[in-house]
Amino acid sequence: MIQPDGPATFSRLGDVEPFGLLTPTQYLPRVQPQLESADYAQDFEEVKQKGRATGSTRGETETRTAQLFAQAPGSPYVSATTAFALWHNVARDLTQNKGYSLTQTARTYALLSTSMHDSLQTSQTSKFIYRLWRPETAIKEAAVDNNPATTADTEWVPLLTTPSYPSHASNMACVGFGSARALANVFGGDAQSFIAAWYTAGTATTPPTVVHAEAYTALSDLARDEGNSHIWGGIHFRFEIDASEIACAQVADYIYDNYLQPRRR
């Protein structure tokens, strides 16, 4: 089942040739838990409580994170900074701080962009293989999931707008974890100090201003916030974030191991 009603979008991305992978299913995220399982019920309850628009157990920081990554219209944290731009800005800052040459910087951007594209394609392709319902549908229709530990709430509404394609796995998480691993491979480790910043669009006469800036000491911490943002926004289950982390780190590792190797002198 797909929520909201209407034709699914980006349903043919899996037909596009990847930039680096052999196929879009080379590192297919693991299958979701059975609807009747305790694992499903646990993650169902988390998003039901954390991801609802009103009456949520979500904290202020979690709400902000959800709205930042979604560029949520009407929120205090709407920005012009997409997840793609965010990671490229992180790469820009780290390469500058490390004094990378033009060639080294170009290689960093190429590995990041390739990993990002193939990670996104991996997760979007998996959605039309697994065809899992979104939390908004799952919570409203829990009476038919054959799991006594889940309870339906027909009035439940997520904080963020539910995308018009199936759920599993998570595009946002795959972009995050693929990007984090790509940069960790380039820079020699996950432990990196940097600022992630979201900006307004700016105009011809007005420069962009910072909507929010957050200090990080690990690339994977930013990726984890990115994945969690869609649980806190009510449009993904935690098992989808976990599956995306494993699969899309493998995507980035494959890209790094097989392309743009430094020339040996």
Q: Could you report the per-residue pLDDT of 150-187, keeping only the tens digit for each?
A: 999 999 999 999 998 999 999 999 999 999 999 999 99
| CATH code at position 138 | 1.10.606.20
Q: Distance between CA 114 and CA 259 in Å, rounded?
A: 10
pLDDT for position 87: 98
**Number of domains, the chain:** 1
Rg (CA), the chain: 19
pLDDT for position 1: 35
pLDDT(2) > 50: no
- Domain for residue 200, yes or no? yes
- Domain for residue 226, yes or no? yes
Q: Distance between CA 68 and CA 10 in Å, rounded?
A: 23
Please work out, in degrees rounded to the nearest 5, the angle formed at the alpha carbon of residue 92 by the alpha carbons of 91 and 95: 80
Q: Could you report the per-residue pLDDT of 86-95, keeping only the tens digit for each?
A: 999 999 999 9
- Domain for residue 197, yes or no? yes
Q: Could you report the per-residue pLDDT of 187-204, keeping only the tens digit for each?
A: 999 999 999 999 998 888
- Domain for residue 77, yes or no? yes
Q: Distance between CA 227 and CA 242 in Å, rounded?
A: 9
- Domain for residue 28, yes or no? no
- Domain for residue 181, yes or no? yes
Q: Distance between CA 153 and CA 135 in Å, rounded?
A: 11
Residue 83: give the domain boundaries. 63-258
Query: 108 and 186 in contact (C-beta within 8 Å)?
Result: yes
> 3-state DSSP helix/strand/coil percent for the chain, to nearest 5?
50, 5, 45
pLDDT for position 7: 63
Q: Could you report the per-residue pLDDT of 32-59, keeping only the tens digit for each?
A: 999 999 999 999 999 999 999 999 999 9
Cα 4 to Cα 9, 80, 140: the distances in Å are 11, 25, 12
**265 confidence band (pLDDT: 50, 70, 90):** low
Span 250-263, average pLDDT: 93
Q: Which amino acid is at 42?
A: Q
What global pTM score does this model have?
0.93
- Domain for residue 208, yes or no? yes
Span 65-92, average pLDDT: 95
- Domain for residue 31, yes or no? no
pLDDT(226) > 50: yes
Q: Which residue has the tokens 């869609």?
A: 230
